[in-house]
């Protein structure tokens, strides 16, 4: 089936966050990536409810789609204290737990007594797919972005394993992309968790943008999260914050007769951050210790939005991350990692809805849930056993490091 | 052996159940550090007296029953009890109580935000927050006397030294706050309140019931909840300076009918949802308008409306209340009127009471800038400095409300007694 008719579809979306001044080529590549993910998505996005092009949506208004970024699954399986320990447990914690479309790394440095202490937290909501476009199409831009983020310019050898990446074909450059893994592990350039991808976001919005319904006493009614996630056999996604928030917001709009689309620029954004919760020596945090970047929203209200957030002092300053306190009411504790920061952050994509039109009774996709127990017990989720293993690994590592 | 647990009485969330007309929120503090079993025994006796009160029995009037007016009594415990007062407690403080159950102290000179990032401030004359005592008791009944009497009977009990050997009572009576339900379903700001509060039954229950946990030492908290209490003063002289349209946009509902506003015309006038109120009715509270009480996602048009109170307080409009991230909370507020001896001679406002499975839900609503963070009430009118003083806080506290189990001497007795 041929879904696309619009001519300038190639440049439907600007690059995430308008963050880079890119040429048409990169923009096209990004739009290609979006398009191909949309076309091949396992959730079979239905253009009748979820068109790819936001320009197709008239009488549009913004949907409010965001969620708190702290990993939720370990809080269901265990509690907040353990969730914090495991989420802050280096790359292992990130790989398993940072799955609310927000990842971070903790930068550590030695203090004057030689003790290794957390210095900064780097938080990112950038899509890997965008970085792949850049690495493949525009080595100069890749190096420029890295210079901005890291403060130093990596060599071509570091990035592509050759002295001149311009002699490589795009495919060859793409094949070198994994060279960024190490820098990404250390600095959180973009999201790398397997369900934090562009394809996952398109999947979940496509999944939610369907006129599901249940029949109760012969009446068509709105389905619940538990009913939808059970009937569609994706119960494993139902206990996070991101997937239910994104899909149920889309579903709510569609069930109300609206269409849903990503708004330009398609991306994942840090949409709120309660910086008042942080203090240093009893005062608000110095502004330079909160560095937002990778976004260029000029319109009012969104200028605090970003895809990258760095919290903490620079290497030149004699302070550390744990000199910063996070406070809730009278409760005060030093910031020791990223989990505490993520609790004050909401992230989400930009979604627009509109084109209101009444649904016909033949439009509804009636979920067959007769005889099925749809109750979802999040503390019994399958992922809990994986998290249990990580917990054991964490505990073992503590045994090794404590005297 | 484990017994079935459920929410305590006094949380009127279920279908067909109406909260009593009068509230009295009373705070008790524990005098000194004390051994948990000793306090537990004392509280058991107090609870026995409360059970008698519910049956209309007054100790000073043996065998003469008075009307108890559907009295319910709920007990909650604050973090200081666990952290500062109890020795040899049988339970440790629940994780979420420890992390989220305090508000900031008022500034020494009065005022100041109640939470880091919140737009709600203490009143200028509030230098200490009276709702930080160790124990909260919520009395609800259908008459003012029935709840006031509970405070007086509590005072008698605490004063009855002979009852507790010859020593002073370990508990001290703190502040009490009273309030009432309104038969016009409105609030002092004239608008309807308590309209959108989730469907009775499961949706409400799931927003506030502490969920199943795999952490052994937290299992006893399951089916308990957290209560929040804020004594909020409304400054009507500020409110009444707004035009009706400004007020409506600040709330998000039509002032007379209570119908939700879904868009704004180019000239800035609010437009209510089509068909509300249904013909033959004049207010959203009347039969036939049920589906207009809560507006679902996707109905709102335009960018200004989300600034309104009803949206700022419920950004997600999700009935999926189980997930903490929905930030749904069950509100059970009671308005108040108190005579004062300075002009204008009275103070009015709302005893904001809500129940949630963790205080974090309300904290997040009050501090995230996507929600009510930095806002005092809501609406684009907030840009005026005066509006930031519209609501002020006289007392604010969170308490853990242990589950009810018929084997416990009183809810939470397992904190104190084997
Ligand atoms: C004196 C202070 C307050 C007044 C006069 C007030 C008044 C109102 C009014 C008139 C409504 C609309 C009727 C309704 O939908 O029930 C409302 C709704 C609501 N208010 Fe307040 N409010 C106050 C404080 C608060 C605070 C501090 C919160 C904190 C969370 C809050 C949360 C809510 C919620 C969740 C709704 C329902 C929104 C919806 O689902 O549509 N209110 N309030």
Hey, which residues 265-284 in chain A have their CB within 8 Å of chain B? 271-277, 279
- Taking only the tens place, the pLDDT of each residue in A113-137 is 999 999 999 999 999 999 999 999 9
Contact A96/B at CB under 8 A? no
Q: Is the pLDDT of residue B237 over 50?
A: yes
List of E strands, B242-357? 261-264, 270-272, 330-331, 334-339, 346-356
CB A274 to CB B368 under 8 A?
A: yes
Answer whether B80's CB lies under 8 Å from B28's CB: no
Beta-carbon separation of B370 and A61 below 8 A: no
Q: Lowest mean pLDDT: which of A125-134, A198-207, A254-263, B300-309? A: B300-309
Neighbours of A39 (CB within 10 A): 14
Shortest CA gap B95–chain A (Å):
8
State the DSSP string of A147-182: HHHHSSPPPHHHHHSSS-GGGS-HHHHHHTGGGHHH
Residue A131 in domain: no
d(CA A99, CA A70): 9
Strands A351-354 and A308-311: unpaired
Q: Is B306 in the pocket of ligand 1 (CB under 6 A)?
A: no
For residue A154, the number of C-alpha atoms closer than 13 Å in the C-beta half-sphere is 24
Residue contact B373–A272, C-beta within 8 A: yes
Nearest to A328 among B99, B113, B325 (CB): B99
CA dihedral over B385, B389, B391, B396, signed as positive or negative? positive
Q: Which residue of B has its CA nearest to A60?
A: B301
Partner-chain contact B370 A274, CB within 8 Å: no
Please give the residue range of the domain that contains residue A206.
41-123+196-401
Residue A151 lies in a domain: no
- Tell me if A157 is assigned to some domain: no
Domains: count for chain A: 1
Task: Identify whether A146 is part of a domain.
Answer: no
Interface test with A, best of B82, B99, B116 (most A CBs within 10 A): B116
Question: Which residues have C-beta within 8 Å of that of residue B184, sequence separation ≥ 6?
Answer: none
Q: How far is the CA of B195 from the centre of ligand 1 (A)?
A: 9
Does ligand 1 have an atom closer than 6 angstroms to the CB of B392? no
Q: Residues 330 to 389 of A: which have CB under 8 A from any B CB?
A: 330-331, 344, 346, 353, 377-379, 384
Rounded to the nearest 10°, the torsion over CA A238, A243, A249, A251 is: -70
Residue A92 within a domain: yes
- The answer to whether the CB of B310 is under 6 A from ligand 1 is yes
Structure tokens at B251: 């709330």
A143: helix, strand or coil: helix
Local confidence band at B403 (pLDDT 50, 70, 90 cut-offs): very high
> Residues B16-42: pLDDT tens digits?
999 999 999 999 999 999 999 999 999
Out of B95, B298, B364, whose CB is closest to A63? B298
DSSP B103: P
Q: Which of B49, B53, B82, B83 is nearest to B143 (CA)?
A: B53
pLDDT of residue B55: 98
Which strands sit side by side in the sheet containing A331-334, from one edge to the other? Answer: A283-284, A278-280, A324-328, A331-334
Mean pLDDT of chain A: 93
Tell me how close the Cα of A342 comes to any Cα of chain B, in angstroms: 12
The finding on whether B242 has its CB within 6 A of some atom of ligand 1 is no
Pocket test of ligand 1: the residue of B309, B312, B315, B396 to mutate, having most ligand atoms within 8 Å of its CB, is B309
Give how far A321 is from chain B: nearest CA, Å: 19
B249 secondary structure, DSSP code: H
Q: What is the mean pLDDT of chain B?
A: 94
The angle that helices A90-97 and A80-87 make with each other, rounded to 10 degrees, is: 120
Range of lowest pLDDT (A250-264, A364-378, B113-127)? A364-378
Looking at residue B304, its pLDDT comes to: 66
CB nearest to A256's CB, from B96, B115, B297 = B297
**DSSP β-bridge partners for residue B229:** B353, B397
Which strand (E) or helix (H) includes residue A384? helix A383-401
Locate the chain B residue with the closest alpha carbon to A248. B318
- Hey, are the CB atoms on B364 and A68 less than 8 Å from each other? yes
Q: Which pLDDT does position A341 carry in this prediction? A: 98
* Structural domain includes residue A183: no
β B270-272/B334-339 pair status:
unpaired
A277: distance to nearest CA of chain B, Å?
A: 5
Number of CB pairs < 8 Å for A and B? 122
Q: Which residues from B are below 8 Å from A273, CB to CB?
A: 369
Residue A272 lies in a domain: yes
User: Tokens for A185?
Assistant: 């592990």
Report yes or no on A179 lying in a domain: no
CA angle A308, B375, B228 (to 5 degrees): 100
Strand partners, A334: A325
| Cβ-based contacts of B114 with chain A (< 8 Å) | 329
Min mean pLDDT across A64-73, A323-332, A369-378 is at: A369-378
Task: State residue B298's pLDDT score.
Answer: 62
Distances (CA, A) of A142 to A137, A173, A189, A198, B101: 9, 12, 11, 19, 46
The pLDDT tens digits for A297-348 are 876 556 789 999 999 999 999 999 999 999 999 999 999 999 999 999 999 9
Distance in angstroms (rounded) separating the CA atoms of residues A392 and A386: 10
pLDDT number for residue B163: 55
Distance CA A304, CA A297 (A): 8
pLDDT tens, residue by residue, B150-190: 999 999 999 986 555 667 899 999 999 999 999 999 999 99
Alpha helices per DSSP H over B160-295 = 202-208, 236-239, 244-251
Which pLDDT belongs to residue A2? 42
The ipTM (two decimal places) reads 0.94
In residues, how long is chain B?
418
Mutate to test the interface with B, among A249, A328, A348, A391 (most CBs of B within 10 A): A328
Q: Is the CB of B313 under 6 A from ligand 1?
A: yes
Q: CA of B20, closest CA in chain A: separation in Å? A: 31
Asked if the Cβ–Cβ distance from A379 to B319 is below 8 Å, we say no
- Judged by DSSP in three states, A313 sits in coil
Nearest CA to ligand 1 atom 38: B310
Question: Is the confidence at residue B46, as pLDDT, over 90?
Answer: yes
Beta bridge partners of A179: none
Any idea which of A53-62, A391-400, B338-347 has the lowest mean pLDDT?
A53-62
- Establish whether residue B250 lines the binding site of ligand 1, counting it when its CB lies within 6 angstroms of any ligand atom: no
Pocket test for ligand 1, best of B114, B192, B193 (most atoms within 8 A of CB): B193
Closest-CA distance of chain A to residue B281, Å: 25
Q: Which of B162, B142, B144, B204 is nearest to B14 (CA)?
A: B204
Residue B303: its pLDDT value, please? 65
Chain A residues with beta carbon closer than 8 angstroms to that of B301: 59, 61
Task: Measure the CA–CA gap between A358 and A370, rounded to whole angstroms.
Answer: 27
Residue of A nearest to B363 (CA): A328
The CA-to-CA distance between both ends of chain A, in Å, stands at 65
Q: How far apart are CA A111 and CA A118, in angstroms?
A: 10
CA of B194 to the centre of ligand 1 (A): 7
Contacts of B228 (CB under 8 A, 6+ apart): B329, B352, B353, B354, B355, B356, B359, B362, B396, B397, B398
């Amino acid at each position: 089936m041929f879904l696309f008719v619009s001519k300038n579809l190639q440049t439907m979306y600007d690059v995430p966050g308008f963050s880079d001044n890119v040429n048409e080529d990169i923009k096209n590549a990004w739009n290609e990536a979006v398009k191909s993910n949309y076309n091949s998505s396992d959730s079979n996005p239905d253009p009748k409810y979820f068109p790819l092009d936001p320009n197709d949506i008239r009488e549009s208004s913004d949907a409010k789609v965001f969620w708190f970024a702290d990993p939720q699954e370990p809080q269901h399986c265990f509690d907040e204290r353990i969730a914090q320990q495991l989420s802050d447990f280096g790359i292992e914690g990130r790989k398993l737990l940072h799955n609310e479309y927000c990842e971070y790394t903790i930068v550590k440095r030695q203090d004057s007594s030689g003790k290794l202490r957390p210095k900064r937290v780097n938080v990112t909501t950038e899509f890997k797919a965008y970085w792949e476009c850049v690495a493949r199409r525009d080595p100069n831009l890749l190096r420029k972005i890295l210079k901005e983020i890291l403060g130093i310019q990596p060599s071509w050898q570091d990035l592509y394993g050759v002295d001149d990446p311009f002699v490589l074909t795009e495919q060859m450059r793409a094949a070198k992309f994994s060279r960024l893994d190490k820098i990404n592990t250390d600095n959180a350039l973009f999201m790398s968790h397997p369900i934090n991808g562009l394809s996952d976001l398109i999947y979940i919005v496509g999944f939610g943008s369907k006129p599901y319904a249940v029949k109760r006493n012969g009446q068509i009614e709105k389905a619940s999260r538990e009913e939808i996630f059970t009937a569609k056999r994706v119960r494993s996604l139902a206990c996070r914050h991101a997937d239910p928030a994104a899909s149920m917001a889309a579903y709510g709009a569609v069930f109300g007769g609206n269409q849903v689309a990503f708004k330009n620029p398609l991306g994942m954004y840090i949409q709120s951050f309660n910086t008042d919760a942080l203090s240093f020596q009893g005062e608000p945090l110095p502004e330079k210790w909160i560095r937002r970047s990778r976004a260029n929203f000029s319109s009012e209200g969104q200028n605090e939005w970003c895809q990258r957030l760095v919290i903490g002092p620079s290497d030149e300053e004699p302070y550390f991350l744990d000199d910063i306190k996070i406070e809730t009411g009278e409760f005060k504790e030093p910031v020791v990692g990223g989990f505490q920061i993520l609790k004050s952050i909401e992230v989400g994509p930009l979604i627009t809805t509109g084109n209101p039109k009444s649904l016909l009774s033949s439009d509804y996709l009636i979920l067959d849930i007769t005889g099925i127990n749809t109750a979802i017990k999040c503390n019994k989720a399958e992922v809990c056993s994986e998290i249990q293993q990580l917990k054991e690994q964490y505990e073992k590592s503590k045994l090794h490091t404590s005297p | 052996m484990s017994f079935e647990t459920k929410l305590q009485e006094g949380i009127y969330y279920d279908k067909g159940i109406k909260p009593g007309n009068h509230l009295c929120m009373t705070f008790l503090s524990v005098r000194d550090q004390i051994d948990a079993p000793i306090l537990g025994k004392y509280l058991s006796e107090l609870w026995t007296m409360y059970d008698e009160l519910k049956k209309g029995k007054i100790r000073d009037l043996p065998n003469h029953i008075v009307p108890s007016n559907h009295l319910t009594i709920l007990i909650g415990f604050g973090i200081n009890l666990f952290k500062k007062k109890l020795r040899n407690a049988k339970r440790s403080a629940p994780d979420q109580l420890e992390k989220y159950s305090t508000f900031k102290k008022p500034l020494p000179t009065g005022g100041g935000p109640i939470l880091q990032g919140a737009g709600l401030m203490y009143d200028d004359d509030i230098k200490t927050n009276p709702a930080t005592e160790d124990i909260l008791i919520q009395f609800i009944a259908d008459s003012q006397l029935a709840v006031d009497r509970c405070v007086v009977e509590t005072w008698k009990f605490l004063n009855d030294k002979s009852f507790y050997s010859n020593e002073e009572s370990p508990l001290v009576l703190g502040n009490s706050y009273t309030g009432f339900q309104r038969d016009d379903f409105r609030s002092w700001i004239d608008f309807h309140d308590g309209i959108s509060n989730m469907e009775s039954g499961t949706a409400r229950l799931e927003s506030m019931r502490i969920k199943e946990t795999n952490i052994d030492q937290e299992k006893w908290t399951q089916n308990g909840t957290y209560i929040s209490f804020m004594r909020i003063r409304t400054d009507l002289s500020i409110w009444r300076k707004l035009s009706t349209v400004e007020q409506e946009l600040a709330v998000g509902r039509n002032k007379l009918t209570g119908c939700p506003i879904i868009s704004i015309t180019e000239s800035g006038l609010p437009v209510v949802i089509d068909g509300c109120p249904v013909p033959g009715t004049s207010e959203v509270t009347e039969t036939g308008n049920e589906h207009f009480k809560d507006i679902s996602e996707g109905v709102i048009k335009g960018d200004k409306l989300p600034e309104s109170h009803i949206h700022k307080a419920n950004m997600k409009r999700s009935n999926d209340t189980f997930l903490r991230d929905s930030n749904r909370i069950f509100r059970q507020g009671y308005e108040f009127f108190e005579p004062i001896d300075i002009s204008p001679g009275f103070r009015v406002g709302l005893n904001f009471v809500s129940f949630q499975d963790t205080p974090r839900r309300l904290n997040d609503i009050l501090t995230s800038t996507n929600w009510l963070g930095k806002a005092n009430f809501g609406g684009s009118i907030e840009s005026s400095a005066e509006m930031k003083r519209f609501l002020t806080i006289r007392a604010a506290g969170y308490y853990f409300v242990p589950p009810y189990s018929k084997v416990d001497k009183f809810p939470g007795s397992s904190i104190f007694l084997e």
